Homo-oligomer: A and B are copies of this chain.
Amino acid sequence: MPRLTLPQAEQLAQAILRRHGFSEAYVQSIAATVLAGERDGCSSHGLWRLLGIVQTLKAGRVEPCAEPQVHDQAPGVVRVDARGGFSQLAFAAGLPLLADKARTNGIAALAINHCVHFSALWIELEALTELGLVALACNPTQAYVAPAGGSRPLFGTNPIAFGWPRAGQPPFIFDFATSAIARGDIELHRRSGEPLPPGWGVDRQGRPSTDATEVLDQGAMLTFGGHKGSALSTMIELIAGPLIGDLTSLESSAHDAGSKALPYHGELLIALDPQRFLGEQAAQHLARAEALFMAMQAQGARLPSQRRYAARANSLEQGVEITQTLYDDLQALLD
């Protein structure tokens, strides 16, 4: 399998993006995103994403040179209109004002509107935790998942992510889909003909189904955690949809109109400043959070990002390996 150093992988990504007409700001920020995914062992958010990015551009479903507009919506709220571009530039444009507001007020929100979205949320949470901020992020996607008790696609895979800064250590970060499983995993079962584990999907009558084709084509995926996961997914639809004046997953699917482009919707981030909550006692209380992490690890529990950080350490030393097929597909995007 071809092995690339991280600079080689980044240059390849940049060359592909430049070749297809993205402005230099998008070339840099999108390449950094897919590189971070590949580096951290999240290949579904890695270089492979460039195929969908170029496809979305060719379908006319993303603006390659959109300049995000930052609105100072309220003392605690930043809005960034991505104007149909990928989310990365909008996030970068809103970050300084979000951090300022969080430091002034203790808590602040960033609403990103009208963006095309493929990024894992942990990348943004790392940027916030590096500033010493605690942060939450979530977004709808497109309608694949039925609410608990339902039978039709309505919710997206709706990720939610949380970050907590740690002194002298990588942050505590989790980032998970509220669907029971990624859609890609159900696709893999369809291809292999293997039955789905229980809890992944329902048929068109809302009955539990282990048939991947039935779940994908007639029924729906399910959320994780039964009615509790379904409630969380509803919350994400609401606070990262109507609350910020942007699309729900069902509306995003309608907007897509079968083009199979990367999804177009909004995103909500909330940042909290421990210094502002705790004042002079911040260090003392953050040390108690460290005691919690130690107690988790002492009984064999893994912190959510540990696997990702291990992959990162490995990639920094040895670069990344991708399949020959992916390498060839990426090279073809340079022609």
Determine the residue in chain B with the shortest Cβ distance to A76. B105
Interface status of A134 (Cβ within 8 A of chain B): yes
B276 with A74: CB separation less than 8 A: yes
Chain A, 238-260, contact with B by CB distance < 8 Å: what is the 0/1 string? 11011111001011000000000
How far is it, in angstroms, between the C-alpha of A149 and the C-alpha of B225 when the chains are bound?
17
Is the CB–CB distance between A149 and B109 below 8 Å?
no
Report how far A150 CA is from B303 CA in the complex, Å: 11
The reply to whether B231 and A73 form a contact with Cβ atoms under 8 Å apart is no
How long is the Cα–Cα vector from A174 to B277 in the complex, in angstroms? 26
Say if the beta carbon of A19 comes within 8 Å of chain B: no
- CB proximity to B under 8 Å, residues A247-294: 248, 250-251, 270, 272, 274, 276-278, 281, 285-286, 288-289, 291-292
Chain B neighbourhood of A241, CB < 8 A: 288-289, 292
Instruction: Find chain B residues with CB under 8 A from A230 CB.
Output: 301
Which residues from 31 to 77 on chain A have a C-beta closer than 8 Å to any C-beta of chain B? 73-77
Given contacts A244-B277, A295-B154, contact A107 B270 (CB under 8 A): yes
A104 on the interface (CB 8 Å rule)? yes
Considering the chains assembled together, what is the distance between the CA atoms of A174 and B178 in angstroms? 16
The answer to whether A231 and B162 touch across the interface, beta carbons within 8 angstroms, is yes
Asked if A296 is at the interface (CB within 8 A of a chain B CB), the reply is yes
A208 interface residue per 8 A CB criterion = no
Minimum CB–CB distance for A159 against chain B, Å: 11
A146 interface hit (Cβ, 8 Å):
yes
- Whether B228 pairs with A224 at a CB distance below 8 angstroms is yes
Q: Please give, as numbers and ranges, the residues of chain B lying within 8 Å of A164 by CB-CB distance.
A: 235, 238
Residue contact B292 to A238, C-beta cutoff 8 Å: yes
Most buried by B among A149, A237, A296: A296
- A225-B225, A238-B289 in contact; A296/B147 too (CB < 8 A)? yes
Q: Does A216 contact B (CB under 8 A)?
A: no
- Residue A28 is within 8 A (CB to CB) of chain B in the complex: no
The answer to whether B227 and A226 touch across the interface, beta carbons within 8 angstroms, is no
Q: Which of A196-250 contact B (CB under 8 A)?
A: 206, 224-232, 234-235, 237-239, 241-245, 248, 250
Alpha-carbon distance between A89 and B243 when the two chains are bound, in angstroms? 30
Among B134, B225, B251, point to the contact of A239 (Cβ < 8 A): B134
- Nearest first, the 6 A-B pairs at minimum CB distance are A225-B225, A76-B105, A74-B106, A77-B106, A147-B301, A174-B231
16 extra A-B contacts, CB within 8 A, seeds A105-B108, A107-B108, A225-B229: A74-B105, A77-B107, A109-B272, A146-B299, A150-B300, A154-B292, A174-B231, A174-B234, A176-B231, A224-B225, A224-B229, A242-B274, A242-B286, A248-B291, A248-B292, A250-B295
Q: Could you name 29 residue pairs across A and B whose Cβ atoms are closer than 8 Å?
A: A74-B104, A74-B276, A75-B76, A77-B106, A77-B276, A77-B277, A105-B108, A107-B270, A111-B277, A134-B239, A134-B243, A147-B299, A149-B301, A150-B296, A151-B300, A174-B231, A174-B235, A176-B228, A224-B226, A224-B228, A225-B226, A225-B228, A227-B304, A241-B288, A242-B288, A242-B292, A248-B288, A248-B292, A270-B270
